[in-house]
Amino acid sequence: MTNKSLPLKPLLICLRPGQWIKNSLVFAAIIFNGELFNPDLFTISLYGFIVFSLLSSASYLINDIIDAKYDRLHPLKKYRPIASGDLSPEIALQAAILLSLGALVLSLLLNYGLFLLGLIFLGLHLAYSSGLKKFAVFDILAIASSFIIRTFAGEALTSFHLPVWLMMTVIFLSLFIAAGKRRSELVSEGTKTRPALLGYRQQLLDFYTSTFATASVICYALFTFFTEPPQFKRFLTEFLLINFPQALGRKWFMVATIPFVIFGIMRYAQLIYEKQAGEKPEKLLVSDLPLSVALISWGLIIIFIIYVA
């Protein structure tokens, strides 16, 4: 096919590769179980990342096809390729089908559990795009569920599980991000571009975001207190155990990461409330310098605690 018959640039825009960062949750299971540098587990997790990236892109295409008439009313979304006419719905649908089939076949070859989670993920997004997003509360739950499914996929692939309090943190943090997304949309755009916003008042979404933010911090703090990080025979670990026997037993290393999580949530909330910037959370993670620094610092400290200390 020529570029005229297959508009590659508009198609690539619709695939939204920038949002694939969300699929990094697939790696959470091996990271927190001390297996990130295990070649076999890293490779299979990478395949899981690819599966969910393909499924995500397929769901974005379907969503843009269904949402085209609403996107044309949006000050920014009207420039999306399908809404603007740069990409035909027929080509977008064909691409979505191919991506979905490719992802499901790959997932079936990797792991039956991954295949089932892929089906659930795709079904959830189809339901969301087809009508679920028109219903208040259910739309937030659907958005948050997609993050949680990605985390479960990493567990299914590797047979390693996240500690329960960390899993609860993922759940509440997902709800916080979803509620913040809806709040930003309501304040900046009103209700004409998204029917579900008719079911919300700003005060209700403020309550949701503050509740989920608080729950995220509490659950993460409980994770650091009650979860023992994987222990390896390293010089620093042995030195601390000999000279400071309570240092690791009390998990002060993991507790030290709490301020970074608190700052990250506070900064994200500030962006939601002051700049109505929560509509695209994946962009905030890389475009806002304080948030990016907090996230990178937290990640490096976690890696140090689990793999070096």
Q: Are residues 255 and 134 in the same domain?
A: no
In-domain check, residue 150: yes
The reported pLDDT for the residue numbered 193 is 64
| Span of 22-31, 184-193, 212-221, 256-265 with lowest mean pLDDT | 184-193
Residue at 158 is within a domain: yes
The answer, yes or no, to whether residue 237 has pLDDT greater than 80, is no
Whether residue 212 contacts residue 173, with contact meaning beta carbons closer than 8 Å, is answered with: yes
* pLDDT for residue 43 is more than 90: yes
pLDDT on residue 75: 76
- In the chain, the percentage of residues whose pLDDT exceeds 90 is 62
Residues 135 and 173 in one domain: no
End-of-domain residue from the set 125, 147, 162 = 162
| Structural domain ending residue among the three candidates 141, 162, 183 | 162
- Report how far residue 65's alpha carbon sits from residue 87's, in angstroms, rounded to the nearest whole number: 10
Counting the structural domains of the chain, the total is: 2
Q: Are 155 and 189 members of one domain?
A: no
pLDDT in tens, 102-126: 999 999 999 999 999 999 999 999 9
Tell me the mean pLDDT in the region 280-300. Answer: 90
What CATH number is given to the structural domain containing 12? 1.10.357.140
Q: What pLDDT, on a 0 to 100 scale, did the predictor assign at position 116?
A: 97
Clarify whether residues 280 and 301 are in a common domain.
yes
State whether 158 and 261 are in the same domain. no
Pair 175, 214 in one domain = yes
pLDDT of 1 > 50? The answer is no
The stretch 13-31 carries a mean pLDDT of 94
Q: Are residues 55 and 115 in the same domain?
A: yes
The whole-number pLDDT of residue 238 equals 60
Query: pLDDT of 198-220, one tens digit each?
Result: 888 999 999 999 999 999 999 99
What is the model's pLDDT at position 268?
94
Which of these three, 147, 162, 177, is where a domain ends?
A: 162
Domain assignment of residue 2, yes or no: no
* pLDDT (0 to 100) of residue 180: 92
| Residues above pLDDT 70, as percent of the chain | 89
| Residue 73 confidence (pLDDT) | 77
- Alpha carbon 192 to its chain's center: 27
The verdict on 139 and 208 lying in the same domain is: no
Is 211 within a domain?
A: yes
Q: Mark whether 81 and 181 lie in a shared domain.
A: no
- Residue at 3 is within a domain: no
The predicted pLDDT at position 246 comes to 55
Is the domain of 211 the same as that of 95? no
Q: What is the mean pLDDT of residues 167-195?
A: 86
| Encoded tokens for 301 | 């400290």
Pair 155, 178 in one domain:
no
Are 124 and 198 in the same domain?
no
**Domain of 105?**
8-162
